[in-house]
Amino acid sequence: MKIANIVSTTNINVSNDFNVVKSLGEIIQGLPTLIIGWDFVKKNYPDYDILTKKLEENLYWTFKKTEDRSKHEEDIYNFVENTYRNLINGIEYVYVDPILFSRRKIKKIITKIKGLKEIISYEHKGMIYIYGEKLIFGVDLSILEYMGFNTCKVKNKIITISNIFLTYDTIFIEYKKKVENLDNQIRFLPYLYSIDNG
């Protein structure tokens, strides 16, 4: 699944998450779009302000490398970063803390997790991240083990209620670059997986 468009007549080095095309007619409507080339903007957007990078809602521009190399690279970097950040806006993360949370709160969380329609879970270095309906729950197996819980039982219950259960070896390498673009917040991996496979 593509997350944004970049319109450029020259080669651009970005991830496959971006729809890189040569004309506005090829963009995927509704996605944030970056137009590269001052000459194109000047010709097609006569009311533009050279100091403002936003042309319209979800439509931005920057210089070609030959027009202003430093601005070109900086703006592409910022566009990519902002696109990934906007992608996770609205996703709520809840760290399930069995030490600080009351039993009542833990029960509410368990009920909420069981009520999710589509659950994608991911295990990574002693943590299990459970994603569904714009919510991510983080469960720390080492804390549960310290408190005397049977972590194998907990993990098996999570596997049972999950539509998809991902593990470190099978998926991390594929999503490593995407996670790096989200400040290495590994908890978003099941959400990213749901976008690609939803």
- What share of the chain in percent tops pLDDT 70? 99
In a shared domain, residues 41 and 137? no
The pLDDT-based confidence of 62 (bands split at 50, 70, 90) is very high
Q: CA gyration radius for the chain?
A: 21
The C-alpha atoms of residue 172 and residue 55 are separated, in whole angstroms, by 37
Arithmetic mean of pLDDT, 19-31: 96
pLDDT at 122: 97
- Assess contact for 86 and 99: CB atoms under 8 A: no
In a shared domain, residues 15 and 97? no
In a shared domain, residues 156 and 80? no
Instruction: Give DSSP secondary structure letters for 180-196.
Output: HTTTT-GGGHHHHHHHH
Mutual angle of helices 168-180 and 189-197, in 10-degree steps: 90
Domain count, the chain: 2
- Assess contact for 165 and 159: CB atoms under 8 A: yes
pLDDT at 98: 94
In a shared domain, residues 67 and 124? no
Arithmetic mean of pLDDT, 164-178: 87
pLDDT at 67: 93
In a shared domain, residues 162 and 78? no
Residue matched to tokens 């080339």:
37
Task: Show the tokens assigned to 54.
Answer: 């936003």
The pLDDT-based confidence of 198 (bands split at 50, 70, 90) is low
Q: How many CA atoms lie within 13 A of 67 on its CB side?
A: 16
pLDDT at 193: 94
In a shared domain, residues 35 and 79? yes
In a shared domain, residues 52 and 146? no
Mean of per-residue pLDDT scores for the chain: 93
In a shared domain, residues 73 and 156? no
If we measure between CA atoms, which residue out of 86, 45, 85, 51 comes closest to residue 71? Answer: 51
Domain boundary, last residue among 87, 115, 134: 87
In a shared domain, residues 16 and 81? yes
Domain containing 58 equals: 4-87
Domain boundary, last residue among 87, 112, 139: 87
164 burial (CB, 10 Å; 0-12 / 13-18 / 19+) is: middle
Instruction: Give DSSP secondary structure letters for 98-120.
Output: TTTS-HHHHHHHHHHHHH-SS-E
In a shared domain, residues 129 and 172? yes
pLDDT at 64: 95
Question: In this model, does residue 123 exceed pLDDT 90?
Answer: yes
Arithmetic mean of pLDDT, 148-165: 96
Domain boundary, last residue among 36, 64, 87: 87
36 burial (CB, 10 Å; 0-12 / 13-18 / 19+) is: buried
In a shared domain, residues 81 and 99? no
In a shared domain, residues 159 and 179? yes
Name the H helices within 24-125: 38-44, 69-87, 103-115
